[in-house]
Structure 1
Amino acid sequence: MKQPQLVLASASPRRRELLAQIGLDFLVQTADIDETPRPGETAEALVRRLAQEKSVAVWKHRAQMQAAALPVLGSDTLGVLSGELLVKPTGFEDARQMLRKMSGQQHEILTAVALTDAGGTRVAVNRNRVKFRVLTDQEILAYWRTGEPQDKAGSYAIQGHGAIFVEHLEGSYSGVMGLPLYETAQLLGTAGIIIF
């Protein structure tokens, strides 16, 4: 087994899959942070702060444990529709209301990536526009029953069944999944981690 090149501060299987896709060897260590939006905090400021806090928290914890000083990658994803945050649903009714609002509309997906190492923390934000086709109530219920939307920001997964709702995507597919690979590679390069 190769030596890990970095630590991923996320339990997301999608982020692990995307890092593995580009051939990186990494450890996974999650951070328990408060993800509550602050009063007046914009979606971009929130997603940027959460990615940074995850990255810094894991970096500090590893330093306290005297673990190898590997760069730590944190990430967070939020959806926005008409100024309203599209976060993970609290249950079916919450998901149904979100998906109904998104039906036939365009929403924005913001994913922030933060990299912390001995040189500090650097953050990049990726923005995407996603247009949904019109959804029926029957489709929303059937989709909920797949289990897929239950832990996803915006109540859908573009890499799964939710892809059939996407009429148009403007931006980064990997960014909508939860880890924009272009921005991630740029940040990793600043820590001396080259993909090829």
Structure 2
Amino acid sequence: MNWIPEYNFILASKSPRRQELLKSLGIDFQVKTKDVDENYPPEISPNDIPGYLAEKKANAFSNELNNNDLLITADTIVVLNGNVLEKPADYDHASQMLRALSGKVHEVITGVCLSSTTKSVVFSSSTQVWFKELTDAEIDYYINTFKPYDKAGAYGIQEWVGAIGISHIEGSFYNVMGLPLQKLYEEIQKF
């Protein structure tokens, strides 16, 4: 028996990690992307930002969905001491972020929006991540080798810095990669 509901799944994400993760659930999907302004109101709580942005991304496709389409949009942020760390602009910015995360606990929040022509559901998932103290050499090697400029917080948990630098997590590993798979699985089944 196949668990997957009979939808035409569309993933609206350029992220190769999100595409890889959705494939791992056994879902056939097509990728459609649009450039969406990722600004959010300054008064919004960090916990609400990813869901807000995921819904904003979904709204960009609202007039293009067909009856049996199920659109999946997502956004991931890193929060350290109440401050949102987005994607780094350059080497110095990435280095600054990794130095800030070094030796501390931070939170990764991913918001997901599931949309069809008749309804929309937004949910989010949060994971606590513990980094060891990173040396300057480790930070330099990671940035120069992996160029993490497309990643919130300037790192990918599945990459070298995750293997050597993250001592443990509380929550979903896949959420830190950009898609909380277990929660997504449940929400698709309920949808």
Is the pair's TM-score, using the shorter chain for normalization, greater than 0.5?
Answer: yes
Shift of 1:4: 7.0
Q: Which residue of 2 aligns with 1:194?
A: none
Shift of 1:132: 0.1
Q: Which residue of 2 aligns with 1:54?
A: 57
Deviations 1:133-188 (CA, angstroms, capped at 9, x unpaired)? 00011111111111341211010001111212101111001100000011211221
Residues 1:74 and 2:73 are matched in the alignment: yes
Contact 1:148 1:160 (8 Å CA) reproduced: no
Contact 2:8 2:68 (8 Å CA) reproduced: no
Q: How many residue pairs were aligned?
A: 185
1:21 partner letter: S
Q: How far apart in 2 are the matches of 1:40 and 1:22? A: 36
- Helix, strand or coil at the partner of 1:159: coil
List, as ranges, runs of 4+ consecutive aligned residues in structure 1 with deviation greater than 2 Å.
none
- Helix, strand or coil at the partner of 2:14: coil
Contact 1:4 1:27 (8 Å CA) reproduced: no
Percent identity (aligned): 39
List gaps (5 residues or longer) in structure 1. Answer: 192-196
Q: Which residue of 1 aligns with 2:110?
A: 111
Q: Which residue of 2 aligns with 1:28?
A: 31
Deviations 1:92-129 (CA, angstroms, capped at 9, x unpaired)? 11111111011000000000111001231101110000
Q: Which residue of 2 aligns with 1:153?
A: 152
Q: How far apart in 2 are the matches of 1:178 and 1:105? A: 20
Q: Which residue of 1 aligns with 2:168?
A: 168
Shift of 1:86: 1.1
Shift of 1:37: 2.9
TM-score normalised by structure 1 residue count: 0.89
TM-score normalised by structure 2 residue count: 0.91
Q: How far apart in 1 are the matches of 2:68 and 2:34? A: 16
List gaps (5 residues or longer) in structure 2. Answer: 1-5
Contact 1:76 1:112 (8 Å CA) reproduced: yes
Q: Which residue of 2 aligns with 1:122?
A: 121
Contact 1:29 1:58 (8 Å CA) reproduced: no
Residues 1:133 and 2:136 are matched in the alignment: no
Q: Which residue of 1 aligns with 2:16?
A: 13
Shift of 1:55: 1.9
- Helix, strand or coil at the partner of 1:10: coil
Q: How far apart in 1 are the matches of 2:34 and 2:119? A: 18
Contact 1:148 1:157 (8 Å CA) reproduced: no
